[in-house]
Amino acid sequence: MKIIIINGSARKGNTLTAINALIKGASEKNEIEVIEPDKLQIAPCKGCGACQCHKGCVDNDDTNPTIDKIAAADMILFTTPVYWWGMSAQLKLVIDKCYCRGLQLKNKKVGVIAVGGSPVDSIQYELINKQFDCMADYLSWDMLFQKSYYASEKTDLAKDENSLKELEDIGKNL
C-alpha cells in the first residue's frame, strides 16, 4: 500500500516521534512518503474556484505536485501538534489546497494522529477529530484510526514506551 504522511509540525519533536514509530511498524509492507508542508512553497487557498475548471490549483507553487502525491496514495495519515485547540496551520494549508482535487481523494484509507500539551480527555482532541470526521463523511473515507497523545515537553512521547508500541503496532497492521 502507498501511504502518504502529512507532517503538520515544523519542529522535530513529539509529532515526528509519532510518525517515526508508525513508520517503524509500517515500512516493511508499505511504500511510505512523508510530506513536510513547512518545507514547501504553498500559497493559501483563495477560494477562487478556478481549479474546478483547470484540473488543479492555478497557483504556480508546490500545490499541484503535493496534491498529486496525496491523490495517488492508498492511505493518507494526517499528523499534527495541537495549536490553539486545532490542527496546525501547516496541515490545514495542505488540506485547504486539496479542494482543487477533492473528489480524487474519495474512498481513501485515513488515519489521524494529534499530539498536544493537554491530557487526551481535553476538548482540543475532540475538536480535531470532529473536523476529520466531517471530511471523512464528505469524502467517504475509511477512517482507520484517530489517535491522540499527551506530550507537553519535546521528548515526552519518546519516553512513552506504551504509546510508541501502540503506534508501531498500528503501522504493522496497515
- Give the integer Cα–Cα distance in Å for 131 and 162: 27
Q: Find, among 109, 124, 44, the residue nearest to 78 by Cα.
A: 109
- Give the integer Cα–Cα distance in Å for 80 and 77: 10
Determine the 3-state secondary structure of 111 from DSSP. Answer: strand
How many residues are listed for the chain in this entry?
A: 174
What is the per-residue pLDDT across 72-110, written as a single tens digit (0 to 9) for each? 999 999 999 999 999 999 999 999 999 888 888 999 999
Q: Where are the domains of the chain?
A: 2-172
Edge to edge, the sheet with strand 2-7 lists: 31-35, 2-7, 75-81, 109-116, 142-150
pTM: 0.96
- Give the integer Cα–Cα distance in Å for 87 and 73: 22
CA angle 157, 159, 162 (to 5 degrees): 80
Residues 57/67, Cβ–Cβ less than 8 Å? yes
2-172: CATH, from 3.40.50.360, 3.30.1330.60, 3.40.50.300, 3.30.70.100? 3.40.50.360
**Paired strand residues for 111:** 77, 145
Determine the 3-state secondary structure of 31 from DSSP. Answer: strand
At residue 28, the pLDDT reads 94
> Average pLDDT per run of 10 along the chain, which is 174 residues long?
97 96 97 98 92 85 95 97 96 94 91 96 96 95 97 95 98 96
At residue 103, the pLDDT reads 84
